[in-house]
């Protein structure tokens, strides 16, 4: 069994990943931005002996460092950064929320890089670490969709963060990957989306399980296909 850390586990894909990994018998560190308002995660944790909840706000560097200090230096086999921000409703060029763009950059792009830095020692201690960032197909330059300046640009940027990490950690026993989880029926994706959170989480876990060091730096779809950048 493995130790898995899910950053952004209060609902949707993150909650489902925590649920599925725990059901397999893995030790799950479930990170929540507001651990006092995580009812679904609390209920899941109370019914499972192998889920612990840690406060971690991916947009707050001090919160990331505090979580790393609380968790300590023990081995973590897999870290999946799920937490993200959609960027608000004003994302056209003519009606652009600049403050929200800065906020989303902290959450979607800078935060995952700081999580990677903070928990690299834990992944090294594993000897076979996986670090995965959930992104979106909207972050790919090949995706033929305009608008959504905030969300698309910050997700494109975190894809580059993942690629750089894979190069900087090329000699380390850590696999870095970026994941498009699908268009998922969550609060962000909406009820009309194509797949359920259960399907997305199951696909993500299958991808993680099959990764080798040669795969480091790739951008995947939830079904295991490579997503063109």
- What kind and span of H or E run contains 40? helix 39-46
Tokens of 175: 């696999």
Residue corresponding to tokens 């406060």: 55
pTM for the whole structure: 0.94
Strands (E), the chain: 3-7, 27-32, 51-55, 78-81, 91-92, 95-96, 129-134, 174-180, 219-221
Residues 87 and 151: their CA atoms lie apart, in Å, by 5
From residue 79, alpha-carbon distances to 40, 88, 112, 123, 132 in Å are 21, 27, 10, 8, 6
Predicted confidence (pLDDT) at residue 217 exceeds the cutoff of 60: yes
Question: What is the structure's pLDDT at 79?
Answer: 98
Q: Which two tokens stand for residue 120?
A: 């690299």
Domains along the chain with CATH numbers: 3-221 (3.40.50.720)
CB within 8 Å of 55: residues ≥ 6 apart: 31, 32, 33, 34, 35, 63, 66, 67
Write the CA distances from 158 to 111, 151, 185, integer angstroms. Answer: 9, 11, 23
pLDDT one-digit tens code per residue, 10-31: 999 999 999 999 999 999 999 9
Residue 94: pLDDT band with limits 50, 70, 90: very high
Q: Which residue has the higher pLDDT, 1 or 64?
A: 64
Band of the pLDDT at 197, cuts 50, 70, 90?
confident
């Amino acid at each position: 069994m493995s130790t898995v850390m899910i950053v952004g586990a209060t609902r949707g894909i993150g909650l489902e990943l925590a649920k599925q990994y725990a059901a397999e018998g893995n030790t799950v560190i479930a990170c929540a931005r507001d651990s006092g308002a995580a009812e679904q995660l609390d209920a899941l944790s109370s019914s499972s002996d192998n889920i612990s909840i840690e406060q971690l706000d991916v947009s707050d560097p001090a919160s990331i460092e505090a979580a790393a200090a609380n968790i300590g230096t023990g081995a973590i086999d897999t870290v999946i950064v799920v937490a993200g921000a959609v960027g608000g409703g004003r994302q056209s060029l003519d009606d652009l929320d600049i403050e929200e763009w800065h906020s989303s950059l902290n959450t979607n792009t800078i935060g995952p890089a700081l999580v990677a830095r903070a928990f690299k020692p834990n992944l090294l201690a594993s000897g076979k670490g996986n670090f995965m960032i959930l992104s979106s197909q909207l972050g790919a330059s090949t995706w033929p969709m305009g608008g959504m300046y905030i969300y698309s640009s910050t997700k494109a940027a975190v894809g580059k963060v993942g690629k750089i990490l894979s190069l900087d950690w090329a000699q380390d026993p850590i696999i870095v990957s970026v994941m498009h989880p699908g268009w998922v029926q969550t609060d962000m994706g909406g009820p009309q989306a194509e797949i359920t959170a259960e399907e997305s989480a199951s696909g993500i876990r299958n991808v993680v399980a099959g990764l080798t060091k040669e795969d480091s730096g790739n951008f995947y779809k939830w079904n295991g296909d490579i997503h063109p950048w």
